[in-house]
Amino acid sequence: MRLLVTRPEEGGSRSAEILRSRGHDVLLAPLLRIEAIADVDLGASPFAAILLSSANAARAIAAHPRMRELMHLPVLAVG
Residue 56 confidence (pLDDT): 87
Q: Roughly how many angstroms between the first and final C-alpha of the chain, as a whole number?
A: 26
pLDDT tens figures, 49-64: 999 988 888 989 999 9
Reduce the DSSP state of residue 30 to 3 states and report it: coil
Residue 46 sits at the vertex; the CA angle it makes with 42 and 52, to the nearest 5 degrees, is 50
Reduce the DSSP state of residue 69 to 3 states and report it: helix
Phi/psi of residue 25, nearest 5 degrees = -90, 115
pLDDT tens figures, 10-40: 789 999 999 999 999 999 999 999 888 888 8
